[in-house]
Every structure is written in C-alpha cells, then in structure tokens.
Structure 1
C-alpha cells in the first residue's frame, strides 16, 4: 500500500476530515489533499507529527506494503497528541463485541467520532454514549438521541430529560411527549407543568379535555387522590407503577418542574 493510500485510510479510520487533519498538523487542507493524492510528501516534522497522531512508525507510513494488517491493529492503542494549541486523545479497546470496540474514546479540538459499546467523543455512537452529539441506547450530550434514555440540552428518547425533551416520557423546560412534565408541558396523554396542554392537563395554566389547576405552581395544592381518580377515569388500563409515580408528586410537600 502506498503512502497516499495509507494516509487516507488512517484518517478515515479516525473519523477525521482533511480539514481536521490539516488543523491538527498545522498545514492547509490542500497540503493534506496533495499527500493523499500522491502529488507530494510531508516534510520531516510533519511526518513525525503524522506518525505520532496515527500511532505508527514513519517506516510503516512511507514503506510500500501490501496486505499488511499492522496499521489496523495499531488503532486499538491509545494516543495523545498536542500539536501547537491542538489536543487529541483516542483510545480503542482491543476487546470487541460483534466487531465493535467495547470502549472507544475519541476527543479533542475538532470533529472526532467515537463508535463503541461505550462511546465517548465529540460525536459518539454507542450503546452508552457521551458527547456533544450523542446517539445510543443511553445517551448524554448537548444533543442526545437515545433509544431508551436521553439526557441533554436537546434530548430525544423513550425517556428524555433536557432543556428541550422529546419522548414518550419527557421531562424538561419544554417537554413534549405522551407523558410530559416541565415548565411548559405538551402531551397526548398527561401533561404536568407551569403551562400544561394535554388530554389530562395539570398546571398553573392548563388546557385539555380534563384539567386540574395548581395554585402558585405548588403540587401540594392538588390532592393526590383526585389525580389518581382522574387518571383511572380517563386511562383505566394505564400501568399502575406509572400512575403511582405521578400521584406521588402531588402527595409530596412540594415539587416544582
């Protein structure tokens, strides 16, 4: 494999664009493009930086090889690179599940993608994921999308908690779902909050087929038995544990969304 092909392969394995690589190494994107097209080679200081970044020797980078798997194996190692003001850290566990690393950490200044059972990165994709943009079964991030649970500024999931929460069960400043609790709660079934809109709406300001008005946004101003009776009337087959959870909020001394 030629140097140009290795460069492109290693960069893509890290989930980096040519712009990301250029910024870390301290060159222009055009320089990276020329390296990957075989039009030119990096100077020695840049070659050293590339070697440290990809955690391979300079010999492995420049020697023409065919069928070698050495570079692919090296991506399981961790590395830290600090070039100028840039910081980048990556770790991939050697253990995998269905070909996916159990742990993949890929963080730094720029756009770095982590893919693993447990994924931590600027962009993370995994069963449990943590990142600015996070996608997984359980996700935590500024933008979190979780199949089961999502926590973030913007959270989308079966159970979602965030500034803006979208889900079957949503809790947030603005909560939208089947069951929503928040400063502003919008729900198809039960909405609870300062401003509540739903089939059953409970709030200081409530709009719905069935409404209960809280006084001064205090939950203890409404009797829990009254809430239970209303839910059982409208949704007699609703999961009892969920009903008990909702009713418990009104039986407490105080609760504010």
Structure 2
C-alpha cells in the first residue's frame, strides 16, 4: 500500500472530508486531493502535521510500519482524546440548499449551509453557530438581518459589541439609527452610559445637538440638575422643532424617561 492509499484510508476511517483535513492542516483541498491521487507528495512539515491529525506515526504514514506496542501498558492517567462529528442534511431543498443542514463536531471547522443551518460555521436564512451568517443569525460572532452574538453585525444587532444599520444594543453599540448600550454611538439617536449622536443623545454623559443627561453637551441641553415638571414637554418641543421626522416612539422615550 502506497502513501496515497494510506492517506485516503486513514482520512476515511476518521470521517474527515478532504476539505476538513485541508482546513486542519492549513492547506487547500486541491493539495489533499493531489496527495491522495499520487500526483504530488506532501513535504516533511505537512507529513508531520498529517501524522498528528490522523493520529499515526510518521513511520506508519510514510512506510506503513506498525509501531511495536510496549510490553506493559501503564495505567491511563487521563481519558484519551476523542473527536466527534454529527451531520444531517435533509433531502428536501429550496433554491438548491437543503431545508435543514446540521454539521457540528468537536474537532475541526464544520460548515452548515442550508435554509436552517446549525454548525461550527453556519450560513442560512436562519443560522446558529460559533460563526453564523443569515437573515436571522445567532452565534459567538453573528452577521445578518437580525444578529445576536458576542459580536453582532446586522440591520439590527444585539451583542457585547453590536454594530447595526437600524438598531444596535450592546455593551458597545454603534448604529446609523438607534444605539443603546454602556457606550452608544449613533448617527441619529443614542441612549447609554456614554451617548454620542448626530441628533439626540441621552445618558450619563450625552453629547449631541439635543443632549439629555447628567452631563450634557450640545446645541440644546437638558442637564439632570435642571430637570423639572416641564422638562419632558420642553424636550418634546425641541425634538419636534429641530428634528421633526423623529419617530413618535423615540420622541416619547426621550421626553418621558427622565
């Protein structure tokens, strides 16, 4: 059995695709394909990485020599490493994509692509994964129309760091529309501990043309020490005069939540 045959058999035994093995090694899928066809051979660095990934010795991978087992096996001090992988792909499709694709595992970057996608890396209309992208995406890092994650980027985003075109809510929120968070920065409206906006800002420290807060900086300001019974109406009048196209709900939020 030649190197290419051993490489093919070991990869299949471990349930890895050429793409998954290539990702683990940091090479292209075409490189793995050439190694298995015998049209090229991996260099020493790639041979070492292959042996580690496939959990065999270099001697066995290159020459097919089995390692001599020790006479006495020492007691295991810890549980051996094991990898798991699960994949399900529905037969029904829409626009060429499976309706449901689940591709998750312990070792490697498993990519799920479907209308509903769940994987280490997921892309779909609805996606759930460590890295996810979709119309509705949930993950450690998510990109989508509605994105929820540690880092969320989308039309509407919710996360530790949230960047949204229309709305962003998070520890640090950046938006062209409404930003809400510990630190909120927006081209239009911002609410947060520290709030900066192109139109209206409200927070502990607020900076905007209309600024409402304990420390307020702007063309028209409503500092906390000056709030009184008529402050809400004064804020409403200022907003309607300077920014008459502000949505009514936001006008009420800025004028009522003092």
User: Residues 162 and 171 of structure 1 are in contact (CA less than 8 Å); yes or no, is this contact kept in structure 2?
Assistant: yes
CA distance in 1, matches of 2:139, 2:228: 38
1:171 aligns with 2:180: yes
1:128 aligns with 2:136: yes
- Give the match for residue 203 of structure 1: 213
- Give the match for residue 61 of structure 2: none
1:98 aligns with 2:108: no
Higher relative contact order (CA 8 A, sep 6+): 1
Superposition deviation, residue 35 in structure 1: 4.8
What pairs up with 1:236-255 in 2 under 5 angstroms? 236-250=244-258
- Give the match for residue 157 of structure 2: 150
1:182 aligns with 2:189: no
Superposition deviation, residue 232 in structure 1: 1.2
Superposition deviation, residue 151 in structure 1: 0.5
* Number of residue-to-residue matches in the alignment: 197
Residues 20-47 of structure 1: per-residue CA shift (max 9 Å, x gap): 4x6xxxxxx68x997542258989xx59
Normalized against structure 1, the TM-score is what?
0.63
Structure label with greater radius of gyration: 2
What pairs up with 1:1-257 in 2 under 5 angstroms? 10-12=17-19, 16=20, 18-20=22-24, 35-36=32-33, 37-38=35-36, 84=81, 86=83, 88-108=85-105, 111=109, 112-147=120-155, 149-157=156-164, 158-167=166-175, 168-177=177-186, 178-215=188-225, 223-250=231-258
User: Residues 103 and 116 of structure 1 are in contact (CA less than 8 Å); yes or no, is this contact kept in structure 2?
Assistant: no
User: Residues 106 and 120 of structure 1 are in contact (CA less than 8 Å); yes or no, is this contact kept in structure 2?
Assistant: no
CA distance in 2, matches of 1:94, 1:248: 53
CA distance in 2, matches of 1:85, 1:248: 57
User: Residues 185 and 195 of structure 2 are in contact (CA less than 8 Å); yes or no, is this contact kept in structure 1?
Assistant: yes
- Give the match for residue 53 of structure 1: none
User: Residues 175 and 182 of structure 1 are in contact (CA less than 8 Å); yes or no, is this contact kept in structure 2?
Assistant: yes
Normalized against structure 2, the TM-score is what?
0.62
Q: CA RMSD in A?
A: 3.8
Residues 216-250 of structure 1: per-residue CA shift (max 9 Å, x gap): 9xx88873212111111211232223312332323
- Give the match for residue 70 of structure 1: none
- Give the match for residue 114 of structure 2: none
Residues 162-189 of structure 1: per-residue CA shift (max 9 Å, x gap): 1111111100111111100011101001
Residues 32-67 of structure 1: per-residue CA shift (max 9 Å, x gap): 997542258989xx59xxxxxxxxxxxxxxxxxxxx
